[in-house]
Amino acid sequence: MSLLSVDDLVVDHRTPGRPAVRAVAGASLDVAAGEVVGLVGESGCGKSTLARAVCGLTAATGGAISFEGGQVTRLGLRRRDPELTRIQMVFQDPYASLNPRRRIGAQIADGLRTAGDRETTPGGMLERVGLPAAMAGRYPHEFSGGQRQRIAIARALAARPSLLIGDEPISALDASAQAQVATLMRNLAVESGAGLLFISHDLSVVRLIADRIAVMYLGKIVETGPTAEIWAAPRHPYTQALLRAIPEPDGLGTLPEELPGDVPDPADPPSGCRFHPRCPMAMDVCAKEEPAPGPVSCWLYPPA
């Protein structure tokens, strides 16, 4: 059984006086215990909204989210089910998620208390993320960006989550810290038996750490599969375009913010396959009918 199962999830963003924007438009995704799944796609494709719905931070409009066998779709906006402390999130900007006025040891201790862990010390958690235990008495501003992200990871792991979600956790870091922090998240999640959903627009780092990749485009998952297979032979034209956009053939380098072609407005998505206005292989059917969801959601690969 999957640790996390997202089934046909729909999330609408509503702003008074404006049409609703369907940020997630029927996305399905699974994460197993001890598995690392990389969720990739351009900025604004709905990756972060999906993650926030999984954590209960954003209400789902439709579909179902099952975590450890329980449904979380109907979670209210203001209430967080105590069970959901077993999902911990690491955000893009660690400075925004750490309290600047509290010592980091006290903030890590909050997570240990949540887990009922009286044995582990905040210093011990710092050592697990590669920082000296003696730094527990310092404040967030006394650290570099990469160190602060390590502290955010220590705090998240202190709560003993069974699912860790990284929402673009490396995109604000120096290039030198990115792979280190991503690898650290992977190793610590896997060691503790937790699943990791790692969201990034940096495919080259996702390739380093993920067992499986899910590619998202305009609110939908268009291709999923084992990382090595997708890297060696991407099938969906959007995945192919993403991989081609990585500047270095050895996979070192980051995805540009946008691929060539106009990114459609999520409030007014194209008919049929949402990628058809940008797809070099589009056929007549593509503008008329939506391809079925599956490992590759594309009319070039109709389900058997």
The residues binding ligand SF4 (CB under 6 A) are: 236-237, 273, 275-276, 279, 281-283, 286, 291, 298-300
Nearer Cβ to ligand SF4, position 51 or 273? 273
Nearer Cβ to ligand SF4, position 124 or 264? 264
DSSP string of the chain? --SEEEEEEEEEE--TTS--EEEEEEEEEEE-TT-EEEEE-STTSSHHHHHHHHTTSS--SEEEEEETTEE-TT--SS---GGGGGEEEE-S-HHHHS-TTS-HHHHHHHHHHHTT--S--HHHHHHHTTS-GGGGGS-GGGS-HHHHHHHHHHHHHHT--SEEEEESTTTTS-HHHHHHHHHHHHHHHHHTT-EEEEEES-HHHHHHH-SEEEEEETTEEEEEEEHHHHHHS--SHHHHHHHHTSSSTTS-S---SS-SSPPPPTTSPPSSSTTGGG-TT--HHHHHSPPPPSSB-STTS---
Question: Least CB distance from residue 268 to ligand SF4, whole Å?
Answer: 17
Nearer Cβ to ligand SF4, position 19 or 261? 261
Question: Least CB distance from residue 287 to ligand SF4, whole Å?
Answer: 8
Question: Least CB distance from residue 283 to ligand SF4, whole Å?
Answer: 6
Q: 214, 203, 206, 213: which is closest to 255 by C-alpha?
A: 203
Question: Least CB distance from residue 90 to ligand SF4, whole Å?
Answer: 32
Distance CA 26, CA 190 (A): 29
Measured in degrees and rounded to the nearest 5, phi and psi for residue 127 equal -65, -35
Nearer Cβ to ligand SF4, position 96 or 283? 283
Question: Least CB distance from residue 263 to ligand SF4, whole Å?
Answer: 15
**Rg for the chain, CA atoms, rounded:** 20
Nearer Cβ to ligand SF4, position 196 or 214? 214
Residue 246 tokens, joined: 């990585």
Nearer Cβ to ligand SF4, position 166 or 272? 272
Question: Least CB distance from residue 142 to ligand SF4, whole Å?
Answer: 49
Q: Are 19 and 267 in contact (CB under 8 A)?
A: yes
Question: Least CB distance from residue 226 to ligand SF4, whole Å?
Answer: 21
Question: Least CB distance from residue 302 to ligand SF4, whole Å?
Answer: 10
Residue 265 tokens, joined: 């407005």
Nearer Cβ to ligand SF4, position 20 or 283? 283
Nearer Cβ to ligand SF4, position 137 or 261? 261
